[in-house]
Structure 1
Amino acid sequence: MNDHDLKNLLDQAGDSQPDPKAKQQAIRMALDAFETAHANEKVGEEKHSEINSQGFIHWLRHTFSSNKMNRRDDVNRESVFQQKWLFGGVATTCVVLFGVMITTYNPGIMTKDPYVETYPLNLPNPSANDKDDTAVLEEMEITTEYRTISADTKKLDKSDAGALPDMEIAEALQRAKGTAIQTQTAAKPMADMALSSPAVAPMAMRQELKSAPEKILQQTHQETGRDRFESFETNPIKLTSEEPVSTFSIDVDTASYSFTRKQLNSGVLPQKDAVRLEEMVNYFDYQYPQASSKSEPFSRSVTVMDSPWHKDKKLIHIGIKGYEITEQPKSNIVFLLDVSGSMNAPDKLPLVKQSMNLLLSKLRPDDTVSIAVYAGAAGTILEPTAVSEKQKIISAINQLSAGGSTAGAQGIKLAYQLAESSFKKDAVNRIFLATDGDFNVGITNNEELKGFVERKREKGIYLSILGFGGGNYNDALMQDLAQNGNGVAAYIDTLSEAQKVLVHEATSSLFPIAKDVKIQLEFNPTTVAEYRLLGYETRALKREDFNNDAVDAGEIGAGHSVTAIYEITPAGSAAQLIDNSRYAKKEKLEAASNEYAFLKIRYKLPEENTSKLLTTVIDKETESSKLLQREARFASAVAGFAQLLKDAKYTGNWGYEDAIALALANKGDDEFGYRSEFVQLVRKAQVAAGM
């Protein structure tokens, strides 16, 4: 059969009609097949439901009921990639592991191995006769270690913060028991430093910071209220018949006034212990009579006037003026500069640099200058160099930067070694320590430091202190070191103050004309019922100390003026506060009925060790010039203002307005504007006190 025959056969089949019976039978068979297939599908679904009820691992159960098919049969076994549970399980496991990693991740744990930075000491060899001093302050190398605090570090609690305001989180952390804090920068908040450097920050500190209030976290290293001052009580009124003699050492420091000014310019009253009346009064220069003899290096003047705050009492005003030198002596100066982390603030190290450059302008070309610094350790920046090489000295100063902790004791030792290496017998040998007073590592025993400074003073090397900044200023230690070092303690809060102390008053700051100056007044019980010394609480001496040349006292520099004020209650005055004793033996004194008191002053010349005595009688008819009366009244205005800030229990109703009026009426010559500035400070204190 060919293709043509096949085509004809198909055409014939297409034309024929199907058998009706066959058609009906075919339809019936199709319906039966459909119903059978539908019934089998329902049975399959029920079996699938039974399998799922046994859990997602039903295929692991090798039972006939759970798996009627032979799983070892390659035809019936599902492919691994067709198992949906496998992908779901893997995905779930990844999510869980990722969550665990996120919740347990702690960068503080993944720290590098501890490392130690060592600062080399460039120390000159001490002199052979300095063995005793070396035994007291052992030479040692200070290392700074950065590490993560162990888990047993004690965390902070409320007791560690003491009585500080709750915003003082930085101080609380710094004083935490068992916690060592590395000061990074002064301008950056401590909280931010700890949180931004978790690899170095101690774990305990970070936990404390996390729980601190938001306002605490924003505090910086320059917070106020943490400055340390020696606490003292105001001098009381004394009954002349029981204690007629008053003895004290003179004080030419001015730090209290400068610190008070800084606080008032910030809109707050100073701490009460920061106000030392004698330093407030002695901040100003007074036009007392000038001394003319080097053998008797200072003049003395006395003014008796009515008390501004009590009409029934009087003030005895004692003024001392040092003679002015005609030729500037040679100088051997050592700058000991604190470059620790706490000095990283605009009113600290940058101001120190400017101040030292100002002082250079007052030195002779043949003077010598050395520079030592201290932070985590002490080192020499500039060996003894002639001032004629001024650019070299300025470059050494300007390259300094702040960082690290404060090894102040080691720095002081190094400075004395430098001073000894270039010691000049015919010159003034003096160290200027510029610091915020925050000694926190190394030798911190104050008595040991003071003893060391005192022994060096006997060898002719003096120590003066220049304080800078606020927030952690250790005034108490600075005062002790300056007193034992026969130097002055000044506080530099502005460049203008640096100009005053180191330029205008350079001769008085640099060149002493008398040392161990002591004042003693013996009051006459017949004319004076009571008396009170205004200020000098921290300079009080015993009566027997006056004639004991072994007892140290203050020094006076060239051109320096010193003022002391007593308030007395004349005998028979209704203003007497202390009643006379009923049973005390009453003696009749007729001889000196016109005298208020007898003034005695002892002093030593700088190169001598035996004191000399000056005496003056203070009587009722003591006359003073109009100039002295004006100067005494202005000093009284300053003394009254200091009492208002510290303790106003003896000033009655006298207030800030009275201080302003008294100062304005007696301002006199005010070349540099210091007295006008004082009036403005009183006004600022009045505003701050009313807030």
Structure 2
Amino acid sequence: MNENELKKLLDNSEQSPNPQAKQEAIRTAVNAFEAMHAQQKIAEPIDDKKTEKKSQGLFSWLRLTSSSNKMNRRTPMNKPRFPQQRWFLGGVATASLAFFGLMLATYHPAFKTPTPMDMDTYELNLPEPAKKPSLPEREIQTEFDSAAAPPAESAMLDALSKDKRGQLPDAELMSTPGLARAKITTEKRAQQTGFMAERKLMADDAYTHPSFQAEGKDRFENFETNPIKLTSEEPVSTFSIDVDTASYSFVRRQLKQGVLPQKDAVRLEEMVNYFDYHYPLPDARNEPFSRNITVIDAPWNDKKKLIHIGIKGYELKEQPKSNLVFLLDVSGSMASPDKLPLVKQSMNLLLSKLRPDDTVAIAVYAGAAGTVLEPTPVSDKQKIISAINALQPGGGTAGAQGIKLAYQLAETSFKKDAVNRIILATDGDFNVGISNTEELKGFIERKREKGIYLSVLGFGSGNYHDKLMQDLAQNGNGVAAYIDTLSEAQKVLVNEATSNLFPIAKDVKIQVEFNPASVSEYRLLGYETRTLKREDFNNDAVDAGEIGAGHTVTAIYEITPKGSGAELVDGSRYTKTEAGSEKGDEYAFLKIRYKLPKENKSKLLSSPISKHTKADATALREANFATAVAGFAQLLKDAKYTGEWTYQDAIALAQEHKGNDEYGYRTELVQLIRMASIAQEM
């Protein structure tokens, strides 16, 4: 076999030879080489220098000769053509790549905790950022107020978007003056030193991590449905009005996910008051709202009656000035798309309803609290929008410190001729800084007395803390709403912005005294968490709900007329109330107390509720639709008083009395009742 034949044979071998072929190839090559070498020995004398063993490189041990080629020519023997060499070289290359890949996989640059910094100004590449004025120190006489605040820098850095803060691979970058990637400037303040940033900065987008959601941990206040009461034993019912709507939105979210809501999530009054009702406006501006009374038969028991009490606030001719602070939760629990991203969209919607001379400040909290934007006129809207859109979630939830900071900002820009309000957007998952919620509520109450109100917008599910948010809003004279979609944000912050932001009356209480001669039993539908003692009605020190411009509030009593035969409680053997007394044509007597926003002394409105109350077609339609909502809520919460009334009956009643449904909210209710009917059967 000559060299060409051997070369051809090796070049055509695409696969590794079997052992027998391998040995045969080696023997053939060795024989050919030795034959050639023997001829060279015969042709010329031996030169010791030329036959001296030389290094043949890193792979000399693979070569078949121990001396240089005397003919100094390139032959196939000088090239790594053998299969063994191919395997070896390929294996070395593969091993090298594997080792390199292993090093990459196991190498993680250490993220080190930033060195302590005192943050005084927070910039987001915004045009002409204003220097932060020094906030006056205030003494707050509670354990909550005096607690040392966690470092502000943690919340500020957490709030930076990925493109703002960039990659932070090592401590050298963190120590670079100015932290150019984060656009944060520092200024030492003597009273704020020694705090360490509590968390590592992560450059990846937090929205990709669903692990932030703590499914199934939504928290609601447990309460029992109002019982039936005997008029002869307890003729007077007192409660605070409620204009919150959070319950309806949360119930809607659950039903759209194909499940029935938790029973404690269903608050009947919030379900009813989610809808606007076409009640007449007040006749004169000397009274902030009108009173409207309608009496209809109860659809689930025609022997009982439903008394509807509706009030409607007057409309504002001109929108008042506003001094708002957006207090935004940017903690790790806000990382899902229905939380912080929806918060940003909601705040941007609200900006569209504000006046150019209104002011907006932004505070955020995560593991600590920080100021993102000093009070800024709405005329500089792009600056506000840029600050909102740059926020990102991460860290713990120092809600208490965030609330304290928000009130400081509100006080700094306080305007006597404006509405001063904090709008808290959160899932309510406060896990840092609150050891006593009563102290927090007391702090909010004191600020309310100084003219700064607090409203709460809830977002998300899984760790939604409804009870805390209701308490904060009630103590802050604000509204508690739940935002589950962008259209709900449109409803709360745009369509109903005037009624939710601008109060026309505060501490509104309702008291109804039922006539034992006409009514044997009664029960209040809803308002279980808003009931008051009888003596609280005339006590101006007792807080109650507020009503905003154009707001409607509805309360419903179910009564059992005397002698109807529908009584569920047996009458007393020894106490008898004779019918036909002087007030026998009255079911009850209604009293309403309220204060004007800047006054501390209440005013009284009153009127009898007659058996012969007349209602026009509009009033009857609105009362029947409200009844459909109330019946639906009872079916979800506790149907022990609705007899054989069903979801289908609720659908029929709501469908018949939808009326003018400009935004489609009432049509949506019918769809939700159908969803509940389907979910019940699953």
1:457 maps onto 2:448 in alignment: yes
Q: Which residue, 345, 363, 376 being the options, matches 1:372?
A: 363
**1:589 to partner: Cα distance:** 6.6
Letter in 1 for 2:298: S
Letter in 2 for 1:321: K
1:140 maps onto 2:148 in alignment: yes
1:641 maps onto 2:649 in alignment: no
Q: Which residue, 580, 593, 618 being the options, matches 1:602?
A: 593
Aligned partner of 1:669 in structure 2 is 660
Deviations 1:496-522 (A, max 9, x none): 000000000010011000000000000
Aligned partner of 1:148 in structure 2 is none
Point out the more displaced range, 113-122 or 647-656. Answer: 113-122
Summarize the Cα distance change of 1:553–1:127 in structure 2 as closer, same or farther, 3 Å threshold. farther
Deviations 1:471-527 (A, max 9, x none): 001000000000000000000000000000000001001100000000000000010
Q: Which residue, 315, 328, 343 being the options, matches 2:319?
A: 328
Aligned partner of 1:579 in structure 2 is 570
Q: Is the 8 A contact 2:353 2:497 kept in 1?
A: yes
Aligned partner of 1:655 in structure 2 is 646
Aligned partner of 1:49 in structure 2 is none
Q: Which residue, 531, 540, 552 being the options, matches 1:561?
A: 552
User: In structure 1, what is the Cα distance between the partners aligned to 2:489 and 2:597?
Assistant: 26
Q: Is the 8 A contact 2:520 2:562 kept in 1?
A: yes
Deviations 1:225-271 (A, max 9, x none): 21001110000000000000000000000000000000001111111
User: In structure 2, what is the Cα distance between the partners aligned to 1:652 and 1:530?
Assistant: 17
Aligned partner of 1:398 in structure 2 is 389
Superposition CA RMSD, Å:
2.4
Identity of counterpart residues, as a percentage?
A: 72
User: In structure 1, what is the Cα distance between the partners aligned to 2:303 and 2:381?
Assistant: 59
SS of the aligned residue for 1:423 comes to coil
**1:295 to partner: Cα distance:** 2.4
1:526 maps onto 2:534 in alignment: no
Equivalenced residues, count? 520
SS of the aligned residue for 2:423 comes to strand
Letter in 1 for 2:669: F
Summarize the Cα distance change of 1:337–1:587 in structure 2 as closer, same or farther, 3 Å threshold. same
Q: Is the 8 A contact 1:370 1:385 kept in 2?
A: yes
SS of the aligned residue for 2:676 comes to helix
Q: Which residue, 431, 437, 462 being the options, matches 1:440?
A: 431
For structure 1, the 5+ residue unaligned runs are 1-106, 146-179, 191-219
Q: Is the 8 A contact 1:507 1:559 kept in 2?
A: yes
Letter in 2 for 1:659: A
User: In structure 2, what is the Cα distance between the partners aligned to 1:182 and 1:527?
Assistant: 69
Aligned partner of 1:387 in structure 2 is 378
1:234 maps onto 2:233 in alignment: no
Q: Is the 8 A contact 2:218 2:463 kept in 1?
A: yes
Q: Is the 8 A contact 1:119 1:142 kept in 2?
A: no
TM-score (norm 2): 0.73
Q: Is the 8 A contact 2:111 2:201 kept in 1?
A: no
SS of the aligned residue for 1:613 comes to strand
Deviations 1:406-429 (A, max 9, x none): 000000000000000000001000
Q: Is the 8 A contact 1:183 1:342 kept in 2?
A: no
Aligned partner of 1:540 in structure 2 is 531
Summarize the Cα distance change of 1:616–1:125 in structure 2 as closer, same or farther, 3 Å threshold. farther
User: In structure 1, what is the Cα distance between the partners aligned to 2:599 and 2:505?
Assistant: 9
SS of the aligned residue for 1:331 comes to strand
**1:224 to partner: Cα distance:** 3.8
Aligned partner of 1:157 in structure 2 is none
User: In structure 2, what is the Cα distance between the partners aligned to 1:542 and 1:651?
Assistant: 27
Aligned positions of 1:223-372 closer than 5 A: 224-372=215-363
TM-score (norm 1): 0.72
Q: Is the 8 A contact 2:220 2:264 kept in 1?
A: yes
Summarize the Cα distance change of 1:631–1:541 in structure 2 as closer, same or farther, 3 Å threshold. same
**1:574 to partner: Cα distance:** 1.4
SS of the aligned residue for 1:137 comes to helix
**1:381 to partner: Cα distance:** 0.4
User: In structure 2, what is the Cα distance between the partners aligned to 1:681 and 1:120?
Assistant: 51
For structure 2, the 5+ residue unaligned runs are 1-104, 121-131, 156-197
Q: Is the 8 A contact 1:318 1:563 kept in 2?
A: yes
User: In structure 2, what is the Cα distance between the partners aligned to 1:625 and 1:135?
Assistant: 56
**1:319 to partner: Cα distance:** 0.5
Letter in 1 for 2:554: T
Deviations 1:24-67 (A, max 9, x none): xxxxxxxxxxxxxxxxxxxxxxxxxxxxxxxxxxxxxxxxxxxx
Summarize the Cα distance change of 1:563–1:117 in structure 2 as closer, same or farther, 3 Å threshold. farther
Q: Is the 8 A contact 2:212 2:332 kept in 1?
A: no
SS of the aligned residue for 1:288 comes to coil
Aligned partner of 1:517 in structure 2 is 508
Summarize the Cα distance change of 1:479–1:288 in structure 2 as closer, same or farther, 3 Å threshold. same
Q: Is the 8 A contact 1:186 1:222 kept in 2?
A: no
Letter in 2 for 1:335: F
Deviations 1:98-122 (A, max 9, x none): xxxxxxxxx99x9979857767554
Aligned partner of 2:457 in structure 1 is 466
User: In structure 1, what is the Cα distance between the partners aligned to 2:117 and 2:608?
Assistant: 60
User: In structure 2, what is the Cα distance between the partners aligned to 1:680 and 1:377?
Assistant: 43
Letter in 2 for 1:306: D
Q: Is the 8 A contact 1:368 1:387 kept in 2?
A: yes
Aligned partner of 1:499 in structure 2 is 490
Aligned partner of 1:41 in structure 2 is none
Aligned partner of 2:675 in structure 1 is 684
User: In structure 1, what is the Cα distance between the partners aligned to 2:678 and 2:116?
Assistant: 51
**1:444 to partner: Cα distance:** 4.0
Aligned partner of 2:139 in structure 1 is 131
Letter in 2 for 1:541: L
Q: Is the 8 A contact 1:133 1:452 kept in 2?
A: no
User: In structure 2, what is the Cα distance between the partners aligned to 1:119 and 1:545?
Assistant: 50
User: In structure 2, what is the Cα distance between the partners aligned to 1:690 and 1:260?
Assistant: 17
User: In structure 1, what is the Cα distance between the partners aligned to 2:111 and 2:296?
Assistant: 73
Summarize the Cα distance change of 1:299–1:442 in structure 2 as closer, same or farther, 3 Å threshold. same
**1:186 to partner: Cα distance:** 6.7
